[in-house]
Amino acid sequence: MGLSYRLFICLLLWGGTELCYPHPLWLLQGGAHGPVSSPQPVLVECLEAQLVVTVSRNFFGTGKLVRPSDLTLGPEHCEPLVSEDTGDVVRFEVGLHECGNRVQVTDDALVYSTFLLHSPRPVGNLSILRTNHAEVPIECHYPRQGNVSSHAVLPTWVPFRTTVLSEEKLAFSLRLMEEDWSTEKRTPTFRLGDTAHLQAEVHMGSHVPLRLFVDHCVATPTPARTTSPHHTIVDFHGCLVDGLSDASSVFRAPRPGPDTLQFTVDVFHFANDSRNTVYITCHLKVTPANQAPDQLNKACSFSKSSNSWSPVEGTDDICGCCNKGDCGRPGLSRKLSPTEQLLTSQQQKSASRKRRHVAEEADVTVGPLIFLGKAGDHGMEEWTSAAHSSMALGLGLVVVVTLTLAAVVLGLATRWRAVSYPVMCPV
């Protein structure tokens, strides 16, 4: 009875029965209808009165599964259904007017819009994340005007797969490399006096070309970046301040590519701390590849020979703020007029809206770096090893001589007893 009533309402409003059934959410090339053969991270079904969203736990396509508890739907953060048959997907089933979904009435359609939100949280006591924050927009279009021809009604919204590709998430990484930068370092062990070679990367997928920067780096004896003691390596939006001390830490120039940035750090340990481990946490971010580096997006190294800062790319003046210790927003030192302040505020809001669906920055940690001792102790260790070997050889010789003397004495005693007590035979 309920289905017949809804069908009658559809006939009155739209004039055709074909509009009362779900429409496909994809378009193949040439306008043909059918499912996409390749697996999709998100599938959306716009039903008559319900929205069904199926999310693959391999959401980013990297093999690392997202946790269902990190996924919510809509402004009211509706939770997914409990999966009983498989752990590979997460499903949401909500009414079109639930979870804070918005509805918009246009001349041709009713548009229901919401978004899928991935908000990762640290696991346990760790302060690092291995996946990015993500917000995927979702829309369902229901036509308001009927089609009395025999032609199929085409979907009126942009295919969802196109949206997913345009909002593909970025994967940031920070790795320890061998001295020739060709491969990742096999072991994380160092001696004081060695140099650690670090390589920061961003994997863009089908994203537009981007340029990677190391905004801030801090070293701690544990993975938590807020622990004490700590040592700042990179600060002020890309100034490698560790090179100001007695270290020779620098960014490597030229960089291998816009998506990669390499730098070296002289190995150290924390004074008055018994732990021999060091973790390095860096805040990485990206800008469009065609955007010129500035005070907020730069990679600057300090040269002791020239007593000056120099950038990996860009003009030298972008590193001038490294000496001041204040690299705020460039170009705002003078007082702005009310009109300029309004335009600047609008530009910032526009940039914030553009960044809402793309994770353009992330905190990445490498470690532990394990130090074994000072480089000057090599000779002492070799002398100690030689002394131990000599002592072992001397003890061995003493044992051999002692056993030999014991055997000789035993043999002489046996012969003396044989001579002292001759055997008498009867005649």
Cβ pair 273, 308 in contact under 8 A? no
In this predicted model, what pLDDT tens digit does every residue of 344-403 receive, in sequence order? Answer: 444 444 444 444 334 588 999 998 898 786 444 444 444 344 444 555 566 667 666 777
Per-residue pLDDT band for 170 (boundaries 50, 70, 90) equals: confident
Query: Quick one: pLDDT at residue 16?
Result: 46
Average pLDDT on 192-212 reads: 86
Burial 90-120 (b: 16+ CB within 10 A, else e): bebbbebeebebeeeeeeebebbebbbbbeb
- Average the pLDDT over each of 15-19, 65-69, 404-408, 412-416 and give the range with the smallest value: 15-19
- Listed residue (189, 176, 220) closest to 370, CA to CA: 189
For residue 293, the 8-state DSSP code is: P
Higher-confidence residue of 355 and 133: namely: 133
Residues of CATH 2.60.40.4100 domain(s) within the chain?
171-329+357-376
Model pTM score: 0.47
Could you tell me the end-to-end alpha-carbon distance of the chain, in angstroms, rounded to an integer?
138
Query: Quick one: pLDDT at residue 414?
Result: 65
Architecture of domain 26-166: Sandwich (2.60)
Hey, what's the torsion of the CAs at 326, 330, 334, 338, to 10 degrees? -120
CA-CA distance, 155 to 143, in Å (whole number)? 9
Query: Quick one: pLDDT at residue 297?
Result: 94
Query: Quick one: pLDDT at residue 86?
Result: 59
Average pLDDT, the chain: 75
CA-CA distance, 15 to 31, in Å (whole number)? 24
Between 3.40.50.1980, 3.90.870.10, 3.30.70.270, 2.60.40.4100, what CATH number should domain 171-329+357-376 receive?
2.60.40.4100
Higher-confidence residue of 124 and 111: namely: 111
Residues of CATH 2.60.40.3210 domain(s) within the chain?
26-166
